[in-house]
Amino acid sequence: MATRAQADKARAAHAETLARKGAHAVGVEDGKSFGKRGFVVVAYVEPEKKVNLPATVKSDADEIEVPLVVERAEMFKAE
């Protein structure tokens, strides 16, 4: 179970890699919404995009494995 700080560290450490693999946004959310305990890293990808993302990412400082949740969503477009 990851704390908010641990999930933030994991997001910061892996955001660029997740973006290269197809995520258009990466955030940290309470895991309850996803059936997880603690906090999770959420990678947002286009609905039809095929991606191969890991099930967890590690925070550098603690080496805690933080669950990675993939959410399908259109990329935000400014009007």
35 assigned to some structural domain: yes
Of 36-40, 41-45, 62-66, least confident by mean pLDDT is 62-66
Q: Give a yes or no: residue 78 inside a domain.
A: no
**Per residue, what are the HEC states of the chain?**
CECHHHHHHHHHHHHHHHHHCCCCEEEEEEHHHHCCCEEEEEEEECCCCCCCCCCEEECCCCCCEEEEEEEECCCCCCC
> What are 17-40's pLDDT values in tens digits?
999 999 999 999 999 999 999 999
Q: State the residue range of the domain holding 31.
A: 4-72
Q: What does the pLDDT read at residue 32?
A: 96
52 is a domain residue: yes
Identify whether 77 is part of a domain.
no
Structurally, the chain folds into a number of domains equal to: 1
Q: What is the pLDDT of residue 60?
A: 73
Q: What pLDDT score does 62 carry?
A: 60
| pTM for this entry | 0.89
29 domain residue, yes or no: yes
